[in-house]
Homo-oligomer: A and B are copies of this chain.
């Protein structure tokens, strides 16, 4: 197919040119004497992306799922009780992983389209006077439904109740894209992956871990070796690794973190909000609804769009891919066929996103949805125009390279 295809899935996201070039490096010796001069500052800078000064960063050659596993095996013991809520495919999978590691998961099911039920959590934690709940899980951004949860609120109730449970957060599709504050929110472990806001290919689980969670490893009796924090600490502290690291990916991470800190986290969050809001304007112009039930749940990294009864969201995704070379996100599990998803995170701007909205319009019309051609695009255009950063043409040119 001539031309480029376009990716509007909620990860993997587009890898910026500078990051791709950094990854495309010659292989190197993971025991070279000057490697720490590369790795130590890198790990320090990755912490900034988590907004953490206190935490310790771990990078495992793994997917985000591996990050979930690292989070629990290093802090918990068989039979430990954890509190978790299920409202989408990814919050479900983390629960499943816990159960397969013999944890006792107290599951709070809420309708898909809502997020972490802070009030229910409050009840359960308040009831846990014996302190049986060792960890509270929060899926910060449920990728399957486009729902963002309120991590700070969970922290607050733990503090209010003076509950000692660890706060473990899945930030795979939020960190480096939308507001996340490791230290301020008192997150104990934040799990992220390389292939979303970090704008890298898949293959690295990136975690930030609080001192409290680190200390928990001493009592945690779940088996672990590959994902053991201890082995990492022993070698990482000197700038090295317990086993062969994917140095090409770490070179890419260096470039990615340079881009992230160069743009500025607050600017990145604002950009993602602006891009997302344009999509929401388009959805509204189409006369459709989001899966996320209320604005407070709206995710700025992914929108799950409900298709009208009688239509198949997954067929739209398939048609868009085969006919127009566009990748949108399928509806998964409980919402399979009922939604299709537009990912709007990572290395993205409004012009790229408008091509995706155009393609979505075409695919929906091809499938017979009663959508007006150009309507969503026009709504998004107008929003983007109104919110475009004014360009001081003369100054811009003077600064340009």
Contact = CB atoms under 8 A, between A and B. Distances in A.
A396 to B, nearest CB: 5
A351 B3 contact: yes
Interface string A358-392: 11011001100000111101110110110011010
B378 A373 contact: yes
A164 interface: no
A13 interface: yes
B9 A62 contact: no
Max count, chain B CB within 10 A of own CB: residue among A34, A64, A69, A244: A244
Contacts of A249: 201, 203
B63 A244 contact: yes
B323 A244 contact: no
A284 interface: no
> In the complex, which range does the number of interface residues on chain A fall in?
35 or more
A165 to B, nearest CB: 21
A225 B100 contact: yes
Contact of A9 (B16, B29, B226): B29
Interface string A214-231: 000000001111111000
A305 interface: no
B355 A65 contact: no
B3 A29 contact: no
Contact of A12 (B11, B28, B324): B28
Given A201-B246, A362-B381, A26 B4 contact: yes
A69 B227 CA distance: 10
A348 B2 contact: yes
Copies of this chain in the oligomer: 4
A38 B400 CA distance: 8
A157 interface: no
Contact of A246 (B5, B37, B203, B355): B203
Contacts of A359: 351, 354
Max count, chain B CB within 10 A of own CB: residue among A24, A96, A330, A365: A24
A226 B222 CA distance: 14
Contact of A37 (B27, B30, B400): B400
Given A12-B27, A27-B12, A349 B33 contact: no
Contact of A373 (B2, B245, B382, B398): B382
A81 to B, nearest CB: 17
Nearest to A372: B378
A263 interface: yes
A20 B251 CA distance: 15
Given A33-B322, A358-B358, A385-B366, A11 B244 contact: yes
Interface of A: 1-7, 9, 11-17, 20-21, 23-34, 37-38, 61-66, 68-69, 96-97, 100-102, 193, 195, 201-203, 222-228, 242-249, 263, 271, 318-319, 321-327, 329-330, 347-352, 354-355, 358-359, 361-362, 365-366, 372-375, 377-379, 381-382, 384-385, 388-389, 391, 393, 396-401
Given A101-B225, A358-B358, 4 more contacts: A7-B28, A33-B397, A63-B246, A374-B377
27 contacts: A3-B348, A5-B26, A9-B31, A11-B244, A12-B247, A15-B27, A28-B327, A30-B202, A33-B397, A37-B398, A69-B226, A100-B224, A100-B225, A101-B225, A102-B223, A201-B246, A203-B246, A203-B248, A223-B223, A318-B393, A324-B351, A358-B377, A365-B381, A374-B375, A375-B378, A377-B378, A378-B378
